[in-house]
Structure formats: C-alpha cells, structure tokens
Amino acid sequence: MTAIEQYLLDTYRATQHQAPMPPEPGRHDLAELRAVRDRARFQAVLDGRAARHPWRAALHRTTDRLLNRLAPGRPHRRRTC
C-alpha cells in the first residue's frame, strides 16, 4: 500500500468516526530532517567534535579519495574559505 492509499483510507476512517483529519503524507518531512540534523550537530558538540555540516564533510571525504586515486602519494592541500 502506498502512502497516498494509506492517507485516503485514514481520511475515510476519520470522516466515518468524526475524528480529526490526518496530515498529508510528506507534510512534515523537512522538519523531521532538520530535527535529525540539529540533533546530530548537538551530539557532536557534546562529544567534543566539531559540529560541521554533514554534506560538506562527505564532499571533502569524497574529494580526498578521488584525488588520492588520481595522484597517489602526492600531498593535496584543501583551500580554506
């Protein structure tokens, strides 16, 4: 059953029982993702690590791996902004 089908079924049941309507599927997804990100950053601070942006850290790891494959043994300096 897809999320839309489940939503339609829940909406039908809510109207039959005079209950409040359920939220639309995907309505609070961005808020949940932000909450997970904020919790991860907060936990990093509590652990004594830098609270960096996770996408930026993943990009740097990928870039470093790629540069090491293209030119092994050569030191690579990352520019700071």
**What's the pLDDT tens digit per position in 26-37?**
888 889 989 998
User: What single DSSP character describes residue 71?
Assistant: S
Three-class DSSP category at 54: helix
- Amino acid code (one letter) for 31: A
Asked whether residue 54 carries a pLDDT value surpassing 80, the answer given is no
Instruction: Report which of 4, 40, 42 is spatially closest to residue 24, judged by C-alpha positions.
Output: 4
pLDDT computed for residue 62 by the predictor: 84
Environment class of 25 (CB within 10 Å of its CB; exposed 0-12, middle 13-18, buried 19+): middle
Mean of pLDDT values over 50-69? 77
Asked whether residue 81 carries a pLDDT value surpassing 80, the answer given is no
C-beta of residue 11 within 8 angstroms of C-beta of residue 21: yes
- pLDDT top residue among 4 and 74: 4
